[in-house]
A and B are shown apart, each in its own frame.
Chain A
């Protein structure tokens, strides 16, 4: 860990000023950042502790949705009455992530900003274009078991490890972002994280000096909400594949299919074509298969993670079967 300066501003304005320089980083729960600093993967000159800001509230919005403050802990969010009743997908996804101890510290904004990462990213004696642009990717020819099958580039095949944001992508949540002297901007969770391309060092669209203030969920919609996380041990493990689904049926046909996937890409994966394909169909194994064909048409394995392609197909089918009541 490199020595660093530390500041603890009392106001959001001050915080946005302090985080404007390139080599500063905001810290909230610190559950990912501190680990990475210890490993010397992250080496900020200055840490801006935003925990004194009052951004922990979870409140109804005027349009019947819910606004979750950036500093609301994962534990508080998952336990919130309205989250549990109207957005159970979000509660389940959060509870499927990390451990109780980590969820007690982790916050909404911090969870969104956790690094898309892999074994090679966290080992500074290994090449990694994300950590050290231009140094190469150790994973492509290495141990790629947890790695991406969609949206990869020759520079990076890491996966976004979170669960909360996958649920938020299916729920079409919006990230609220502020910076000094500017109006709050809103970015859909689906667009918040980036694909690696040739700049894998950038995980998301947050710019220097910007701070996440919260996330809004739209008014709840009809439909069954499911979060399925496939993993080899049942807690404290990243998803091999995860599926977040909001699926509604009307008169025996699918009337809504909002789907997002974790563990298969550099970001929570949302493919708008799936909803177009599924809505209006009578659910069946063949329809689920068609959806999987579409989802996975550009999927590419790297040897060790080839299994994720059939596993995603099966996880999707199981989730859709569960949501629509079809026996497979």
Chain B
């Protein structure tokens, strides 16, 4: 089904199983915590060789020779694989074709150039260090590393009215420059693959988010037809964008297996994951906000400079939600991209809003102070009726409710807006808030649902569950529609033998594949209704039977019944702007002496359409808010200024928040149904939780101690430098 119209009457609400939305624990949770859910590198494969990637110790140039002699003479070493089809970079999300190949042409420090294969991992790892690489590295003076030191290319520009004039004529205005650091996805499971080749078919166990695209990427890279490739990715230990496209280890394992005619496993070291896998671009942003006395925006300017390698299309979409979040007649939104030789920049959880929203929301806090309007009130006054440039209506818009419900739950005190109002020993205590916004995405998806003769159901799609709860929610959608308890629905994911799902990315998985399952179930219901001699509307299914009547087993009469559901986003996105909204409130302590900041409590209120599972949805929000703490306080990729290599490339030195940094996070899920977002009225949620939360913390730091820090993350040195001396 193609969605061209809002799904105002949703079948799900007429069902009787009472399963959807319930806080059911993840069905694969026990397997995961007992170590019995296999991750990519853990599949038992006989006779498997081990491959270790060899990477370039220079940022730009050409590998002229690889001397394999010493390496091949070592115990256990089977081969050195150097093949021009091996990939130099990971594929961007939804690429659907081979990423940049020809690894001998080096574009960033740490780029994989060859694979050493041995009988054991230890042999391969040692041998990899004995490979003698000759190269022509470009003069470092000619290689750009600093995005702020090159002439950037213009990427996008939207203009309406006259921003400069609006700024000049405004009663209050803010002109602020903010920066955000580069981020890593830092998923727990490193990138890994095991490839098997039987002479005609390639099977690869890998850690990937979007098998529906990855199969095309891999087939293209190794010159096979998609039909001859099978990808399996049943459990993924976190992706956060880093596993959207296939990356170097998967292609290298495949080529090695085909060449050596034995299975080959390649697991990236933690350092390689950091050095080769996509980063989130650092940003430099300028916010210009103009308002009247009442805080109503008259001008809205947002400029961003991001970076990427030469030739990469992707540019961190910093301005994405700035296009429509707030009103303002005079608008100028511009983005430039600087070409630098750091590893590829690509999607990391909530590309765009993850860094654009924190900057915007700090500027809004500054405007609130400038205009003398409470920050919550300022946001409420600037919610536009329709898209401020295109005039398109919103499909559903819960920002106001989120702001109000969040403020109430947090006990927001608008009387304490002047900084340095509360001191507790060495600590300043303050509060801050910010809006959340994230575009809503959907994608084509297919799923097969089979009613088995024994009265159970099976859902099959190559959709992945990257730890978000996909197994569970798809079982809930099917169970609700077919009148089955959750444990009577088997969900099989992560195998390209199944119908193509949407993949997990852009927060679109639940709404897209959920809709495909929904469509398949509708078709099944139609058939069941025919058999039962009732109209589909009258068909009430519960606990494996027609309510008060025939059981499913009897209706099926010994035969399975299967339907494939096919969901396609239609033209509805031309008629409506669909987005998730929310609000964050944070209380922090800032140490008067050291500038250390600790988050004491945090509330997030979010509207993302129908909640499919209250527990997994809440976990997504908590995860997003935790990332907000990282963006605000700790996470930053540090690149060497001389040769451009990534310096902090492990979990000890790239600081994601630890448990002790994360207080109890209060999550409010605001009741919402969005009929234009998807047939099941659900929107994306995985990313929304981090789209602005860092600003609530930044604004709370200011409110606590008077330090208006303009650079994320707000480490103790930066807070101290901005803190009024006392």
Residues in A lying within 8 Å of B, measured CB to CB? 1-3, 38-40, 119-120, 123-126, 138, 141-143, 145, 230-237, 240-241, 307, 310-311, 314-315, 317-318, 322, 328
Query: CB-CB < 8 A to B716: which residues of A?
Result: 230-232, 240, 311
Q: Once bound together, how far apart are the Cα atoms of A141 and B657, in whole Å?
A: 28
B633-A318 in contact (CB<8A)? no
Q: Once bound together, how far apart are the Cα atoms of A235 and B596, in whole Å?
A: 13
A232-B594 in contact (CB<8A)? no
Query: CB-CB < 8 A to A241: which residues of B?
Result: 594
Q: Once bound together, how far apart are the Cα atoms of A318 and B593, in whole Å?
A: 6
A310-B720 in contact (CB<8A)? yes
Of all chain A residues, the one with the shortest Cβ separation from B56 is A125
A1-B122 in contact (CB<8A)? yes
A143-B647 in contact (CB<8A)? yes
Contact residue among A3, A125, A232, A322 (Cβ-Cβ distance under 8 Å from B713)? A232
Add 10 more A-B contacts to A123-B271, A232-B655, A318-B594 (CB < 8 A).
A138-B640, A142-B647, A230-B716, A232-B596, A232-B633, A240-B716, A311-B720, A314-B593, A315-B593, A318-B592
Q: Type the 1/0 row for B644-681, where 1 means its CB is closer than 8 Å to any CB of A.
A: 01011100110101111100000000000000000000
B658-A235 in contact (CB<8A)? yes
Q: What are 19 contact pairs spanning A and B, CB under 8 A? A: A38-B125, A40-B129, A125-B645, A142-B640, A142-B641, A232-B633, A233-B633, A233-B661, A234-B658, A235-B660, A235-B661, A237-B655, A240-B716, A241-B594, A311-B716, A314-B593, A315-B593, A318-B591, A322-B426
Query: CB-CB < 8 A to A310: which residues of B?
Result: 720
B713-A141 in contact (CB<8A)? no
Q: Once bound together, how far apart are the Cα atoms of A247 and B282, in whole Å?
A: 45
B587 within 8 Å of A by Cβ? Answer: no
B261 within 8 Å of A by Cβ? Answer: no
* Range of interface residues on B (Cβ < 8 Å): 35 or more
Contact residue among B126, B129, B598 (Cβ-Cβ distance under 8 Å from A234)? B598
A318-B426 in contact (CB<8A)? yes
B642-A231 in contact (CB<8A)? no
Q: How many A-B residue pairs have CB under 8 A?
A: 94
B645-A126 in contact (CB<8A)? yes
Query: CB-CB < 8 A to A230: which residues of B?
Result: 594, 596, 716
Contact of A315 with B594 at beta-carbon distance under 8 Å, contacts A3-B122, A125-B57, A145-B638 already known? yes
Query: CB-CB < 8 A to B271: which residues of A?
Result: 39, 123
Of all chain B residues, the one with the shortest Cβ separation from A306 is B717
Of all chain A residues, the one with the shortest Cβ separation from B640 is A142
Q: Which residues between 259 and 294 of chain B lie within 8 Å of chain A, taking CB atoms?
A: 269, 271
B721 within 8 Å of A by Cβ? Answer: yes
| Cβ distance A67 to chain B, nearest Cβ, rounded Å | 31
B642-A142 in contact (CB<8A)? yes
B634 within 8 Å of A by Cβ? Answer: yes
B426-A123 in contact (CB<8A)? no
Q: Once bound together, how far apart are the Cα atoms of A145 and B426, in whole Å?
A: 25
B634-A143 in contact (CB<8A)? no
Q: Once bound together, how far apart are the Cα atoms of A38 and B647, in whole Å?
A: 17
Q: Once bound together, how far apart are the Cα atoms of A40 and B122, in whole Å?
A: 12
| Cβ distance A32 to chain B, nearest Cβ, rounded Å | 11
Q: Type the 1/0 row for B678-716, where 1 means its CB is closer than 8 Å to any CB of A.
A: 000000000000000000000000000000000001011
Determine which residue in B125, B593, B658 has the highest number of CB atoms from chain A within 10 A of its CB, and name it: B593
Of all chain A residues, the one with the shortest Cβ separation from B593 is A318
Query: CB-CB < 8 A to B593: which residues of A?
Result: 314-315, 317-318, 328
Determine which residue in A141, A230, A315, A322 has the highest number of CB atoms from chain B within 10 A of its CB, and name it: A230
A233-B645 in contact (CB<8A)? no
- For the complex of A and B, list the 4 residue pairs with the smallest distance between their C-beta atoms, beginning with the closest: A307-B717, A318-B593, A125-B57, A234-B660
Query: CB-CB < 8 A to A231: which residues of B?
Result: 596, 716
Q: Once bound together, how far apart are the Cα atoms of A125 and B658, in whole Å?
A: 30
Q: Once bound together, how far apart are the Cα atoms of A143 and B638, in whole Å?
A: 7
| Cβ distance A261 to chain B, nearest Cβ, rounded Å | 14
| Cβ distance B714 to chain A, nearest Cβ, rounded Å | 9
Query: CB-CB < 8 A to A125: which residues of B?
Result: 57, 645
Query: CB-CB < 8 A to A307: which residues of B?
Result: 717, 720-721
B126-A2 in contact (CB<8A)? yes
| Cβ distance A26 to chain B, nearest Cβ, rounded Å | 21
Q: Once bound together, how far apart are the Cα atoms of A126 and B594, in whole Å?
A: 32
Of all chain A residues, the one with the shortest Cβ separation from B715 is A232
Q: Once bound together, how far apart are the Cα atoms of A205 and B57, in whole Å?
A: 34
Of all chain B residues, the one with the shortest Cβ separation from A322 is B426
Query: CB-CB < 8 A to A314: which residues of B?
Result: 593-594, 720
B641-A234 in contact (CB<8A)? no
Query: CB-CB < 8 A to B129: which residues of A?
Result: 40, 124
Q: Once bound together, how far apart are the Cα atoms of A3 and B118, in whole Å?
A: 14
Q: Once bound together, how far apart are the Cα atoms of A124 and B57, in whole Å?
A: 9
Query: CB-CB < 8 A to B594: which residues of A?
Result: 230, 241, 311, 314-315, 318
| Cβ distance A294 to chain B, nearest Cβ, rounded Å | 19
B658-A1 in contact (CB<8A)? no
Q: Once bound together, how far apart are the Cα atoms of A233 and B715, in whole Å?
A: 9
Contact of A1 with B125 at beta-carbon distance under 8 Å, contacts A230-B716, A232-B716, A311-B717 already known? yes
Q: Once bound together, how far apart are the Cα atoms of A289 and B88, in whole Å?
A: 54
| Cβ distance B56 to chain A, nearest Cβ, rounded Å | 9
Query: CB-CB < 8 A to A138: which residues of B?
Result: 640, 642
A3-B645 in contact (CB<8A)? no
Q: Type the 1/0 row for B621-651, where 1 means its CB is closer than 8 Å to any CB of A.
A: 0000000000001100011111001011100
Contact of A141 with B633 at beta-carbon distance under 8 Å, contacts A235-B660, A314-B593 already known? no
Of all chain B residues, the one with the shortest Cβ separation from A39 is B271
Query: CB-CB < 8 A to B653: which residues of A?
Result: 119
Determine which residue in B653, B657, B713, B721 has the highest number of CB atoms from chain A within 10 A of its CB, and name it: B653
Q: Once bound together, how far apart are the Cα atoms of A310 and B719, in whole Å?
A: 13
A141-B642 in contact (CB<8A)? yes
Query: CB-CB < 8 A to B638: which residues of A?
Result: 119, 143, 145
Q: Once bound together, how far apart are the Cα atoms of A235 and B659, in whole Å?
A: 8
Q: Once bound together, how far apart are the Cα atoms of A61 and B22, in whole Å?
A: 62
Q: Type the 1/0 row for B406-440, where 1 means its CB is closer than 8 Å to any CB of A.
A: 00000000000000000000100000000000000
Q: Once bound together, how far apart are the Cα atoms of A314 and B645, in whole Å?
A: 33
Of all chain A residues, the one with the shortest Cβ separation from B630 is A233
Q: Once bound together, how far apart are the Cα atoms of A236 and B591, in whole Å?
A: 19
Q: Once bound together, how far apart are the Cα atoms of A126 and B110, in whole Å?
A: 12
Query: CB-CB < 8 A to B642: which residues of A?
Result: 138, 141-142
| Cβ distance B128 to chain A, nearest Cβ, rounded Å | 10
| Cβ distance A317 to chain B, nearest Cβ, rounded Å | 7
Contact of A234 with B122 at beta-carbon distance under 8 Å, contacts A119-B653, A311-B717 already known? no
Query: CB-CB < 8 A to B640: which residues of A?
Result: 126, 138, 142-143
Q: Type the 1/0 row for B497-529, where 1 means its CB is closer than 8 Å to any CB of A.
A: 000000000000000000000000000000000
| Cβ distance A199 to chain B, nearest Cβ, rounded Å | 25
Query: CB-CB < 8 A to B713: which residues of A?
Result: 232
B661-A123 in contact (CB<8A)? no
Query: CB-CB < 8 A to A240: which residues of B?
Result: 716-717
Of all chain B residues, the one with the shortest Cβ separation from A230 is B594
Q: Once bound together, how far apart are the Cα atoms of A293 and B641, in whole Å?
A: 32
Query: CB-CB < 8 A to A236: which residues of B?
Result: 652, 658
Of all chain A residues, the one with the shortest Cβ separation from B719 is A232
Contact of A232 with B634 at beta-carbon distance under 8 Å, contacts A126-B645, A307-B717 already known? yes
B721-A1 in contact (CB<8A)? no
Q: Once bound together, how far apart are the Cα atoms of A233 and B125, in whole Å?
A: 33
Q: Once bound together, how far apart are the Cα atoms of A115 and B189, in whole Å?
A: 28
Q: Once bound together, how far apart are the Cα atoms of A230 and B593, in whole Å?
A: 10
Q: Once bound together, how far apart are the Cα atoms of A317 and B269, in whole Å?
A: 43
Q: Once bound together, how far apart are the Cα atoms of A124 and B125, in whole Å?
A: 14
A141-B645 in contact (CB<8A)? no
| Cβ distance A170 to chain B, nearest Cβ, rounded Å | 19
| Cβ distance A227 to chain B, nearest Cβ, rounded Å | 14
Q: Once bound together, how far apart are the Cα atoms of A141 and B594, in whole Å?
A: 26
Q: Once bound together, how far apart are the Cα atoms of A123 and B110, in whole Å?
A: 11
Contact residue among A2, A119, A315, A317 (Cβ-Cβ distance under 8 Å from B648)? A119
Q: Once bound together, how far apart are the Cα atoms of A322 and B591, in whole Å?
A: 13
Q: Once bound together, how far apart are the Cα atoms of A224 and B713, in whole Å?
A: 34
| Cβ distance A259 to chain B, nearest Cβ, rounded Å | 16
